[in-house]
Amino acid sequence: MATAEHPAVPTVRPGVAPLRAAQGTSFLWRKLHSLLGIIPIGAFLLEHLLSNFEALKGPAAYGAQVKFLNGLPMVRLLEWVFIFLPILYHGLYGVWIWLRGKSNIVYYPWAGNWLYVSQRYTGLIALVYIGQHVVRQRFMGTQLPEYPYAAFAKVQHELANPWILAFYIVAMVAICWHFSYGIWLFAAKWGITPGNKARKSFGYVCVAVGLGLVVMGLASIWAFVGPSYRNAPEDATPTISQCIAPAQLGSVSA
């Protein structure tokens, strides 16, 4: 009498381990990933947008801002500890989380699923943009730490390429969206906004913050490509007459 053969036991790939406090290291790594997205990366983003906003005042004002930032004590150590290394960890670990996660906006077109996907794609755009921007502006061409007043012309030459300009605009919107939604996620994950009502109300605040940052970022880009400062000089270092106040200049001439 023939005996029935048992089918082979299917192998199941291990999924993402659930996040539980005080269990394993994944919980701590994700908490660090969330924290670094706000401090110091978020703080650096706000500072960077405010610094770029100085471009609306002209090449000399923008160069003075670049000179001030590069003149800070231990600025190179601060760059690596509070900017480069946190961005590398946040970006690469975010990509790792994305690769291990799952989303299906075709069969599950819920708002949360769309937000999950948008946060991942905007983060990837931000990582690519920041990487190329740092390489181009910090390590290629004119060395801005030594020649800060050449910063405006350097950015202007880069944005003269329409493809790069389009990428900067898309990246600016993506970064501001990623950060503003990241604030909402941070508040939810860290228990700052408990309950659906608090999260919904705070969501409106985050949308307003994101829109405000987008306006600032696009206005800064316009300063480089608009007609006000077209064909900026390679060296925008203020002359002696520009550095002396009008009253002082009158007394000197008298």
CB 175 within 8 A of CB 45: yes
Q: Which residues contact 151 (CB under 8 A, 6 or more apart)?
A: 62, 63, 66, 137, 144
Residue 53: the pLDDT is 93
CA angle 48, 185, 187 (to 5 degrees): 90
In the predicted model, residues of the chain with pLDDT beneath 50 are: 1, 12-13, 15-16, 18-19, 21-22, 106-108, 241, 245-254
Residue 235: the pLDDT is 84
> For residue 70, which of 1, 4, 171, 146 has the smallest C-alpha distance?
146
CB 139 within 8 A of CB 90: no
Tokens (6 digits) for 1: 């009498």
Phi, psi of 23 (to 5 degrees): -125, 110
Give the other-Cβ count within 10 Å of 203's Cβ.
17
Tokens (6 digits) for 245: 């106040």
The partner residues of 23 in beta bridges, in order of sequence, read 20
Residue 114: the pLDDT is 83
Q: From CA 216, how far away is CA 213, in angstroms rounded?
A: 5
Q: Is the pTM of this model over 0.85?
A: no
Residues recorded for the chain: 254
Please give the CATH topology (third level) of the domain spanning 28-229: 3 helical TM bundles of succinate and fumarate reductases (1.20.1300)
Tokens (6 digits) for 139: 């390590």
Residue 251: the pLDDT is 42
Q: From CA 113, how far away is CA 203, in angstroms rounded?
A: 16
